[in-house]
Amino acid sequence: MSEQIYTFRDPSFNINQAYYYTLLIQIGGGSFSYAITYKKQVIAWDTNCNLAELTNPQELANELTATYKKVIIGLSSDGFTLVPAPIFSKEQITNYARLLDVKPDERVLAQSLDKDNYIIYKVDEKIISAIQKYDLNNVVYVNKGWIMAAAQDNSTSQDLYLHTENGKAEFLYFKNDAIRFYNNFEFKSEDDLAYFATFVVEELGLHANSTHLKLSGNIKPEDKFSSRLATFFSNVTFFNPQLLELPEQIDAQQVITLAALSLCESLEVL
């Protein structure tokens, strides 16, 4: 695996050509990352950027104030719930939000996650204010793209997807080509992660020795997290969809959630 880097500019990058580019922004963990793409090629990228840059860009003024062909913003959340599409009602969003323990400084967003589900999630009001200039119809739930990529992976009923980022473990399971389970848990140690993985498997009525665990995110092959998981699961691999054309010095797992936003279309935020 290549050594991680945290900023990149392709020689072809020209901010004066921004109208032909797509801007992808991922916000979470107290910072944001962004990528600028031309067709399928990443031509600019930064990570761990200060959130203040979104409100009052200084170092990234050129990149964040240009006029782009398309903008897609992924927002993380500390609380969400899924509502099946057949019973979702725009008029009931306030009632759904009661499940999320919404604070006065938080705002609730609702939008389609896939053809079968709507997601209702809460976001810090300061984040909403910071991105208002980009139009909220360009906002999606941060893991929508990753979920879409997994849905295109021809998964079986023995596949369980586990993505780790910003201290959270995201679990995703499909059955009959539909989401059967999606949830996340905060973890601090390899034992925490192994516990949640085995807990999810048991809740789904699966067995660790026959479950194919597909990892993505900031877990690395043979690190303490993947090694611990391998003591419980006999089939552990990495989920590495080819989403964008990346320079060789960027590890695809380092940008998988951000790159997956490229699969998302702008949605109406309800």
- What tokens does 93 get? 């969003």
Comparing CA positions, the residue from 72, 80, 21 lying closest to residue 259 is 72
Are 1-143+241-270 and 153-238 equal in CATH topology? yes
Q: Quote the pLDDT of residue 268.
A: 59
Q: Quote the pLDDT of residue 1.
A: 35
Q: Where are the domains of the chain?
A: 1-143+241-270, 153-238
Q: Quote the pLDDT of residue 2.
A: 41
Distance CA 71, CA 134 (A): 7
* Domain 153-238: assigned CATH number: 3.30.420.260
Distance CA 109, CA 270 (A): 6
pLDDT of the chain, 270 residues: tens digit per residue: 344 558 999 999 999 999 999 999 999 988 999 999 999 999 999 999 999 999 999 999 999 999 999 999 999 998 999 999 999 999 999 999 888 999 999 999 999 999 999 999 999 999 999 999 998 899 999 999 999 999 999 999 999 999 999 999 999 999 999 999 999 999 999 999 999 999 999 999 999 999 999 999 999 998 999 999 999 999 999 999 999 999 988 899 999 999 999 999 766 566
**Architecture category of domain 1-143+241-270 in CATH:** 2-Layer Sandwich (3.30)
The pTM for the full model equals: 0.94
